[in-house]
Structure 1
Amino acid sequence: MAAANGHGKGKPSVLIVGAGVGGTASAARLAQSGFDVTVLEKNDFAGGRCSLFTDPTKSFRFDQGPSLFLIPRLFDETFSDLGTSLENEGIKLVKCEPNYRIVFPDKEVVEMSSDLTRMKKQVERWEGEKGFEGFLGFLKEGHAHYELSMVHVLHRNFTSLLSMVRPSLIIQLRKLHPFVSVYSRATKYFKTDRMRRAFTFASMYLGMSPFDALGAYNLLQYTEHCEGILYPLGGFGRIPQTLQKLAEKSGAKFRFNSPVKRVTVENGTAKGVELESGEKLKAEIVLVNADLVWSMAHLYEETSYSKRLEERPVSCSSISFYWSMNRKIPQLDSHTIFLAEEYRESFDSIFREHRIPHEPSFYVNVPSRHDPSAAPADKDAVIVLVPVGHISAALPSSSDWDKVVEDTRNKIIGEIERRLDIKDLRGCIEHETINTPITWGEKFNLHRGSILGLSHDFFNVLSFRPKTRHPSVKNAYFVGASAHPGTGVPIVLAGARLVATQILNDLGMPIPSRWNVSSSELATHKTIRDAAGGFTLLSVLFGLIALLVMYLRG
């Protein structure tokens, strides 16, 4: 069995399975912190779903997954912790203005913007003279959710159920509206159905219905309107590519086309991995960035816990079209949202029945609108993401997907043409690439083809979400969408900070001073008694009762 470390004695070795955003960020952090790091990736590129590809002519570039750069604070934090910045690494961000255009079935358009003057006109058009007050109230609540989440969720680890009994969290939890939906919060501030839809569809970023997503997630609309939607020139995949380079600069090694067969465990402790090729590598720490639910079922021995994980609700999947167009499509902006007439029914079809909706809501991204390098000067690169149910008995078998894709394509093209008065959009498509729930699952080992991992209902967040440390195997950790704190590129970056801090803390190694990790953050990696100076049984019981009361009261 080959040893992973080779940079000299005394360096603890870590094997990272997967070179997604979480894997590359963790590799850079741990390499800078004195670890001998080896990253193993099944594909021939870094980034996972957050990656780039080109069409056969190599003239058109597409973001395979994420295309909305949100919560810039967490990106800045990551690069600052690594002693640099996005700007220093040559990543230039451009602002997409307007944020996006929402096109309704009756062809009415609402433009969402970070320009308050524009938003005032948009909101008052539908909500009347007092409508702007409601909008500002919605943003104020979103701001509170944003700041509270930063302090109590994104910069705190939850190592056990009792981690939720921290007094500071219990006091603030109700302010996060964890037991009501994003849509129900919107109804408090907006009186028209059109505005309620416009300010709630973004829960799709989490792969959830606005009728199920926790009220706190209106922080997404807050960050869009108050910080804007940004885009890194050259494509979103430049973020993990740059993190890879930073990791390599600190000595980390990346091995692509190296799928892992299993994590080797001896006496309850992770000792390394075995590759599909049969090669075995040793390490003191194993950090898995592959899909957590898939990993528990395939990389570790099956347990009752891994079986329960497979039964947990997961986010949606998608049928995604990537089109190389033979001309520009000026009617499409950087980001255009097409909402279904049957708004709730469409979401119920996806998230409750796990089907392909009869009338889908969908998102169209034209990266070439804000980044000329994405397509030739007189043409456009167009990405269409159609949320659909994850792989289940309700979805067609693989043999039926050609027809499903064709039917979906016809619906999407028909709606784009009808709502924007475009003729022969299909005739403008030079080349098409497609991802379906099947291909998402195959390319990235995604459980049920879910593109955003486990769901984010209350019993799938905080202490209820899979931990960053393996529940029963020592020296085994996780980072990524299905681990705490959750899905989305900035959130996974926060998770990389948490797990790197946890590994260092577990090994008694110093936390780099520039990470500015507070003593309270460090405390959350220890036991509840260590963290709080000694919980009594009575205080724990009180905390659990408080959580139950909040849940029942909604």
Structure 2
Amino acid sequence: MSNTEKAYGNKNGHASGRPKAIIVGAGIGGCASAARLTQGGFDVTVLEKNDFAGGRCSTFEGAPNYRFDQGPSLYLLPKLIAESFKDLGTSLDQEGIKLVKCEPNYRIVFPDKESVEMSTDLSRMKKEVERWEGQDGFEGFLGFMKEAHVHYELSYEHVLHRNYTTLASIIRPTLLTQLRLLISVTSTVYTRASRYFKTERMRRAFTFASMYLGMSPFDALGAYNLLQYTEHCEGILYPLGGFSIVPKTLAKIAERNGANFRFNTPVERVIVENGQAKGVITESGEELRADVVLVNADLVWAMGHLYKETSYSKRLEEKPVSCSSISFYWSMNRKIPQLNSHTIFLAEEYRESFDSIFTEHKIPHEPSFYVNVPSRHDASAAPEGKDSVIVLVPVGHISPALPTASDWNRIVDETREKIIGEIERRLDIKDLKKDIINEVVNTPITWSEKFNLHRGSILGLSHSFFNVLSFRPKTRHPSVKNAYFVGASAHPGTGVPIVLAGARLATTQILQDYNLPIPASWEVSSAELATASAKTDSNGLILLALLIALICALVTYARN
């Protein structure tokens, strides 16, 4: 009998055989978790409602030979992604994943047709910043980067590699001493940038990236300026063949270890007996038994649909969520040289456009939007001499303020006209619409239907103060044993590298809960193991944790 079988048998009464895990959803978190759990000794079955792996991190074909990334297109925080493959005993190179650097990172185009190019090249950035900020402007840029670097390192240590299993788990001296640097309810991404940049143009250029989290820079915690750090110091990369190559490769690793992926298999509900998850029932009525159920579907949706509705699941549905989008995928009959790999078009009414999305939950009358041309750095994304173009227009999530389903055709038409008009005007392009030979569109409605996203929110729960760390939904179900979560709305949060970090946390927790050894290649620290295996604390400690968090917030408020 293997050590794994002995350990599992000692805890659960199984004399032999591998423990069984069912993963609901083959998104990036589900694929990574499958690879990790098979490595850790589990017999894994992954059930996916769609006919492809990757979830939002997937690719599809528009017109023949035109490839589009459905969701993520910015390969950021490369160290976290590389860590996932290293833990699994392999590497990006070994798996044949080739990365290309997008230089410049992106071009920001303003309504007056002026533009700024963001780059990892310091000499280039010096010229760009001083063009607007004057001779002393570069000093402000370096100060901003220094602060963002501190936030990056602290977040890597205290957020991305720590599991907050209870509210009281925030009570750790190493975290509390740094809490003010990481979290402030009054210091936002925009206020931090305003300390270092004097022109409105530069403040906008260094704050719009909070949209990667589906948040307004006027609301996002100041620590999220770490996004600008990783862009300028590590660069923006792109995986040749499309972003879906990352989850597909993780799925292949899992299959090499024995995992079974079943596509076109929607799950109806999780079987719960005596307070424990015992498997799932598929929509076809098939019953599949397992010792562990790990849900990679949208957490808020899952709590209300896969599990019995509770007061907790109802409260989750009322929590603030990130934005949605109208996303256009255009197959072009020619190249559009005026468009870089990544081009940002910012609205003149910058704050008003964000308020429209995040406060009023509407479609801005003058939207900021993002254009990605994957064929600029990857020739396989479009036929020779042509381009595939993706336009992401952030809009409010599904709410009474948004149009009903019957209005969406009109809304999409109006939005398309606005976007094409602005691209043509700002970049001096003529007849762009005539060059579109095929179009695919995702709206908040289709995001919701295709991926079961609560309110059509493309990035899950918000990352506001009371939605991070111990306040964010946990990787373990709050009341059902042997039930776990991984994905954008679970700790630590949204985005491909962050969800990969979440897969490491969730699977470490599962192995710890089952007294199974952590694979040596994961190099999990004792602090990580301690937080992964932490049990529920007393009510007194929970109240104390909340009190400390509130005190920290008040101290920050007073100092700012």
**Deviation sequence 1:332-362 (CA, Å, 0-9, x none):** 0000000000000000000010000000000
* 1:4-403 equivalences in 2 (<5 Å): 9-57=16-64, 59-179=65-185, 180-403=187-410
TM-aligned CA deviation for residue 446 of structure 1: 0.2
Q: TM-score, normalised to structure 1's length?
A: 0.96
Confirm or deny: 8 A CA contact 2:168 2:541 kept in the other structure. Answer: no
Native 8 Å contact 1:165 1:544 kept in 2? no
Amino acid at match of 2:82: D
- SS of the equivalent of 1:38 reads strand
Q: Which residue of 528, 550, 553 maps to 2:555?
A: 550
Question: CA 1:336–1:541 in structure 2 vs 1: closer, same or farther (change >3 Å)?
Answer: closer
Would the alpha carbon gap of residues 270 and 188 (structure 1) be closer, same or farther in structure 2, given more than 3 Å must change?
same
Residue 421 of structure 2 aligns with an amino acid whose one-letter code is G
- CA contact under 8 A between 2:180 and 2:556: conserved in structure 1? no
1:84 Cα offset (Å)? 0.4
Shift of 1:15: 0.2
The SS at the match of 1:452 is coil
Corresponding residue for residue 465 of structure 1: 472
Distance 1:209 1:544 in 2: 23
CA deviations on 1:205-248 (whole Å, 9 max, x unpaired) are 00000000110100000000000000000000000000000000
2:328, 2:390 within 8 Å by CA — same for their partners in 1? yes
Alpha-carbon deviation of 1:167? 1.1
| 1:524 match: secondary structure | helix
Q: Where does residue 500 of structure 2 map in the other structure?
A: 493
User: Structure 2: which amino acid aligns with 1:217?
Assistant: Y
Structure 2 distance, partners of 1:303, 1:255, is: 29
- SS of residue matched to 1:123: helix
Q: Deviations 1:108-165 (Å, cap 9, x if unpaired)?
A: 0100000001000000000000000000001001100000001000000001110111
Distance in 2, matches of 1:189 and 1:273, equals 53
Aligned identity (percent) is: 75
What amino acid does structure 2 have at the position aligned with 1:306? S
Matches within 5 A, 1:368-447: 368-447=375-454
The 5-angstrom pairing of residues 505-520 of structure 1 reads 505-520=512-527
Using the TM superposition, give the Cα deviation of residue 543 of structure 1 relative to its aligned residue in structure 2, in angstroms: 3.8
Where 2:476 maps in the other structure, the secondary structure is coil
Verify the 8 A CA contact 1:162 1:528 in the aligned structure 2: no
- The superposition leaves residues 302-335 of structure 1 with CA deviations (integer Å, 9 ceiling, x where unpaired) of 0000000000000000000000000000000000
Supply the distance in 2 between the matched residues of 1:459 and 1:537 (Cα, whole angstroms): 14
> CA–CA distance in 1 between the matches of 2:262 and 2:76?
30
C-alpha separation in 1, matches of 2:472 and 2:276: 22
Indicate if the aligned counterparts of 1:213 and 1:456 stay in contact, CA closer than 8 A.
yes
User: How far did residue 55 of structure 1 move?
Assistant: 1.6
Structure 2: how far apart are the matches of 1:173 and 1:413? 44
In structure 1, stretches of 5+ residues that fail to align are 1-7
CA distance in 1, matches of 2:536, 2:350: 47
Q: Shift of residue 514 of structure 1?
A: 1.0
Q: Could you say if the C-alpha distance between residues 389 and 544 of structure 1 is closer, same or farther in structure 2, counting changes exceeding 3 Å?
A: closer
Length, aligned pairs only: 543
Q: In structure 2, what is the Cα distance between the partners aligned to 1:54 and 1:353?
A: 34
Letter in 1 for 2:247: P
The TM-score with structure 2 as length reference comes to: 0.95
Question: Could you give the per-residue CA deviations for residues 365-399 of structure 1, whole angstroms, max 9, x where no partner exists?
Answer: 00000000000111000000000000000000000
